[in-house]
Amino acid sequence: MTYRAGEYRPDESRAGRSGVDPGSRRTPARLDSMSRAKRELFAQRLAGRRSKSGDSAGRAGRSGGRAGGADQPAVWSNSLSPAEERFWMAYMFEDQSSAYHIPITFRLTGHLDVAALEGALSTVLTRHDILRTRYLIDADGELTAVVDDPRSCELVVVPAGDDPQALLDAATEAPFDLETGPLLRPLLLRAATGEHYLHFTVHHIVTDGWSIGNLINELTLVYNARVSGGQPDLPELTMQYRDHALQQRARAGELAGEVAFWRQALSGAPRELGLRTDHPRRSHVKVPGRSVTITFPKQAALDIARRSKSTVFMVLLAAYSVVLGRRAGHTDVVVGTPIAGRRDPVTEPLMGCFINTLVMRTDLSGDPTFKELLLRVRQWTLQAYENQDVPFEQIVDAVIERTGTRSTLIQAWLALQNFPDPALDLVGLDAEDVYVTTPATKFDVTFYVDELDDVMELEVEYDSSLFDEGTIRDLADEFAGILTTAVRGLDQRLSELTSSRPRALS
């Protein structure tokens, strides 16, 4: 299983040959005929609505925010979360790019009860309204969430053939239609007697990494209960994602202090990362991406964190900022990083996109020691955590003038994957994670760091229209090398840190 939120795009020629239905490719009708200039105006309208979202959410909350009778789906107007608006706009501007598709895949060996699996999926879809949500523009021109009624889930079962990986890739890359849905697509490949591939493609607008864990946990509980004839012990849901979205909009007016912090903290921040590229920057509807992976001993990062009273994330952020600053020739480096966005415990069992982006700004000026740099990083990070409730979209609107959906505030991303992959533990089956990905990325450079037993695994995703693979491998090696040399003495100045590292681990 692999979920790297927001980093994939389709190869339509391969999807067309796969035998898997690629689904509708239709852009929402009311926007299909819009010029790009009109789309820009629509983006500005959403930004303006965010600034007034306290009043808007209040109106939606008092009226129930929904329409529809007993035989009609629930229609929620003016009730989308900032994350939903962000991904909808990206979907519309980026021509249904699969950069926002999240694949989840397991190879199942043993006796699979397909009926029990279908029943488990139906139960999960019934429990979580967000998994039955689609998005359209209503007659008044409002972006609207429509929640369809629960229905039985029928798994698409396809022979795996000689190349199951190609079918899995094609299923992941096939475009979604956010207007017609569904936004969770299950697929079951039958490889041989006692062997199946269970695959889901989920659009990021309705999920995040935490939600994927909830999905897998609930599937496990319900499937096992159905096979054994018992009742699943599922966590109680006291609210749905739409309730969270309305609460988030209603709280917008309470975040003035946090918005003021970000406005001041990001004053004068660079609008471009400034990395020297191997190829000229071009305008892309879908940004092509590739990745390279290295591993390196994690003890250096752990030792630096312990000795400097920092966290491992702070250490990695400091090293990443040094690398980016050197490559760009800048002393002011801005990086984005994800945060779960679930501070209220009642949101923990919910599915949906709660994730928020925090802006990390690192000051490399004055050739500080690595210890001094960590103090700067630690201070910024703690302040960012204290002001984490402001949606990233609101920060961008407050700090810079946005062009369309592109924020010129962040072109580099750092994510420490320090949580265990959820386990699909089905009765009578062995489940093995299967790596599925597609070639696209949202940022110039993205660092995903996984903590393993004795090493850290670094996957670097990059815009392959800008950078050659050799450049990115050098970037990854330099990052690992800085950690290796910094641990020898935290009083070394940044100019003294070398970037050599053992090549044997690459």
**Residue range 152-161, pLDDT digits in tens:** 888 889 999 9
Residues, the chain: 506
**Residue range 106-119, pLDDT digits in tens:** 999 999 999 999 99
pLDDT of residue 409: 86
Q: What is the CA 424 to chain-centroid distance, rounded?
A: 21
pLDDT of residue 468: 96
User: What stretch of H or E contains 46?
Assistant: helix 36-51
In angstroms, the CA 397 to CA 357 distance is: 14
pLDDT of residue 26: 39
pLDDT of residue 504: 37
**Residue range 404-450, pLDDT digits in tens:** 444 578 999 999 987 667 789 999 999 999 988 766 778 899 999 99
Asked whether 191 and 164 are in contact (CB, 8 A), the reply is: yes
Has this prediction a pTM greater than 0.75? Answer: yes
Q: pLDDT category, 60, cuts 50, 70, 90? A: very low
Q: Are strands 143-147 and 133-137 parallel, antiparallel or unpaired?
A: antiparallel
Q: pLDDT category, 380, cuts 50, 70, 90? A: very high
In angstroms, the CA 494 to CA 199 distance is: 46
Q: Is the peptide bond before 182 cis (omega within 30 degrees of 0)?
A: yes
Mean pLDDT rounded to a whole number for the chain: 84
The two tokens of residue 452 are: 């393993």
In angstroms, the CA 50 to CA 30 distance is: 21
Higher pLDDT, 170 or 505: 170
Residue 3 reports pLDDT greater than 60: no
pLDDT of residue 36: 56
Side by side, the strands of the sheet bearing 156-159 are 156-159, 184-192, 195-203, 101-110, 429-433
**Residue range 192-215, pLDDT digits in tens:** 889 999 999 999 999 999 999 999
- Greatest pairwise CA separation for the chain in angstroms: 70
pLDDT of residue 14: 26
Question: For residue 453, what are the contacts with CB-CB under 8 A and spacing of at least 6?
Answer: none
Tokens 């009860």 belong to 113
CATH superfamily membership of 254-505: Nonribosomal peptide synthetase, condensation domain (3.30.559.30)
- Write down the domain spans for the chain: 254-505
Side by side, the strands of the sheet bearing 289-297 are 289-297, 455-463, 445-451, 412-417, 332-339, 356-363
The two tokens of residue 320 are: 């990443």
Q: pLDDT category, 39, cuts 50, 70, 90? A: low
**Residue range 309-355, pLDDT digits in tens:** 999 999 999 999 999 999 999 999 999 999 999 999 999 999 999 99
Question: What proportion of the chain, given as a percentage, has pLDDT over 90?
Answer: 64
Asked whether 419 and 208 are in contact (CB, 8 A), the reply is: no
Q: pLDDT category, 399, cuts 50, 70, 90? A: confident
Residue 71 reports pLDDT greater than 90: no
Asked whether 364 and 482 are in contact (CB, 8 A), the reply is: no
What mean pLDDT comes out for the span 163-177? 93
The two tokens of residue 43 are: 């983006």
In angstroms, the CA 481 to CA 225 distance is: 50
